[in-house]
Structure 1
Amino acid sequence: MKLLLAPLLVAGSSLAGRRWGPPVAGVLVALPIVAGPILLITCLEHGPRFGAQAAASSLLGLVSLLLFVVVFGHAARRLRWPGALAVSWAACLAADAGLAQVSLPPYVSVALVLVSAWLAARALPRAEPGPAPSAARPPWWDLPARAVATGALVLVVTGAASAIGPAATGVLAPFPIATSVVAAFALARDGAPGAVRMLRGVPGGLVGFAVFCLMVALLVPRLGAYPAFGAALAVNLAVQAVALRAVRTRRAAGPAPSPEHQTFTRAAPS
């Protein structure tokens, strides 16, 4: 489970994002494809009480993830992807270090995430028109690199859970591995406009993520790991389906695509 579950989910969401474009990719990377497996493994290894506390702290980790999104969006306009990642990771880790010391009731944390998502959506740069997304296929090592990075994060966080405690484990669980890779590739291939278009899908997608963490925190002590995670995942998928429908509706209502973009759409890998 540690080696396969999260990496396979990241690979699947990456392929779906390539198929349907940057805004949809932004919603998909906001699924708990990394944090969910970390929380499940933590719950199975350390018990439901530990897992519930970690899930509650994961809500605060979403605030750090939103900070990463805003910082990367602005850094992308001035820096290449290594510099943008370095600045964004530094901001995210600094926020994680502070939030790991905070203890809030889950409902208060959810409210904080919703307010932070609203602020992040407005703090991001505008999705300015840019060149049509590149039709070039990613290098062969793209998906393996994403899977390896995801597996490494899962192993590190779950392996250190006993030492760092449930609060730090939960705050680190949503660390933006999948978001970082997708944003960096969007910036490298399509420039700042492509990266911003992708990132603008993340704040809305995190609403479902927050609901997932809240349900796990509340249900694990009562139902056990698998029923609680199953119920949380079902609700999360329903929320994300609504978010994806909204994104696709906005795209359909937008201006007609240019001939170059139509060419890209036909050439995009499935």
Structure 2
Amino acid sequence: MNIFVLKLILAPIIIGSASLAGRRWGPAVSGWIVGMPLTSGPVIFFVALSHSAAFAANAALGVLSGGLSLVAYALTYSWLATKFRWQISITGSLLVFATSTTILQNFTFPLLPVFFMVAAVIVLGLRFMPNDTVVKESETKPGKWDIPIRILIGTSFILLLTGVAPLIGSRLTGLLTTIPLYVTILAIFAHRHQGPAAAAHVLRGLLYGMFAFTGFFIVLSLLIEKTSLAVSFGAAVLTALVIQGSSLYILNLLHRK
């Protein structure tokens, strides 16, 4: 129930703030924000409170492994969007995410190999993202219900996910925590209002944000069974903030070019 309430509260805050940030600084920043472990981190924290440290560590490993599915999702949506409308793009990308998650559920990799694998895949994902010019938002102004609808859709997805969560184990809990709820909403609305290039910018921002996500979970996984929750989560949060600051600097440099 704590996880349910947490997600229910965080959903409007995250989607709303990311949407407003996207209007202010562009779609890439929206994706960058939701790439952070804003929900997956708290979910693992509550799992650690409710279960053993070993259970939480296994769930954290599942979250980290789920980063592979996220990169596959981002690339699929971005390239489908260059030729198709958002309905086909989202259907194809979510199918790829689901397929990848199903495969990962059947394989367990050691922590450090998974970490390096996810980091390498993020770099490759950024390398192979499509490039194009984003249409200025003033040319396709969204309506006043734009952000409330995003919040409603995102919260509904979270209610559904939380409802089925008790039926699954620690690894699948971790893998499903990476379901791209927020970034899907942001990408669809960017795609509809500003075109496929804007959606790709959202997803590129997601990939840059995932460096902090990866750093958070490698530190957490290394420490959670050896130290207190305060120390392990504190070190993980500090690592994520340092990495996120660096990735934002890079995004700003790319935006100026």
In the superposition, the TM-score normalised over structure 1's length comes to 0.84
Partner in structure 1 of residue 8 of structure 2: 3
What is the identity, as a one-letter code, of the residue corresponding to 2:105?
A
- Find the aligned partners of 1:145 and 1:215 in 2 and give their Cα distance: 36
Partner in structure 2 of residue 258 of structure 1: none
Which residue, 44, 53, 69 being the options, matches 2:49? 44
Partner in structure 2 of residue 128 of structure 1: 132
% of aligned pairs identical? 30
Note the residue ranges of structure 2 that are not aligned, 5 or more in a row. 1-5
Partner in structure 2 of residue 169 of structure 1: 173
- Find the aligned partners of 1:66 and 1:170 in 2 and give their Cα distance: 16
Distance change in 2, residues 1:121/1:79 (3 Å): same
Partner in structure 1 of residue 207 of structure 2: 203
In the superposition, the TM-score normalised over structure 2's length comes to 0.88
1:17 positional shift: 2.6
- Find the aligned partners of 1:68 and 1:172 in 2 and give their Cα distance: 13
Instruction: Report if the CA contact (8 A) 1:6-1:37 is conserved.
Output: no
What is the identity, as a one-letter code, of the residue corresponding to 2:251?
V
1:150 positional shift: 4.3
Paired residue secondary structure (1:201): helix
- Find the aligned partners of 1:145 and 1:45 in 2 and give their Cα distance: 33
Note the residue ranges of structure 1 that are not aligned, 5 or more in a row. 255-270
Cα deviation digits, residues 202-248 of structure 1 (max 9, x gap)? 22221111111112222222334344223212211221111111111
Distance change in 2, residues 1:145/1:36 (3 Å): farther
Please identify, of 76-85 and 37-46, the stretch whose mean Cα deviation from structure 2 is larger: 37-46
- Find the aligned partners of 1:159 and 1:139 in 2 and give their Cα distance: 32
Instruction: Report if the CA contact (8 A) 2:141-2:193 is conserved.
Output: no
- Find the aligned partners of 1:48 and 1:157 in 2 and give their Cα distance: 23
1:159 positional shift: 5.1
- Find the aligned partners of 1:132 and 1:151 in 2 and give their Cα distance: 28
1:151 positional shift: 4.1
- Find the aligned partners of 1:2 and 1:194 in 2 and give their Cα distance: 27
- Find the aligned partners of 1:37 and 1:75 in 2 and give their Cα distance: 32
1:158 positional shift: 5.0
- Find the aligned partners of 1:41 and 1:151 in 2 and give their Cα distance: 19
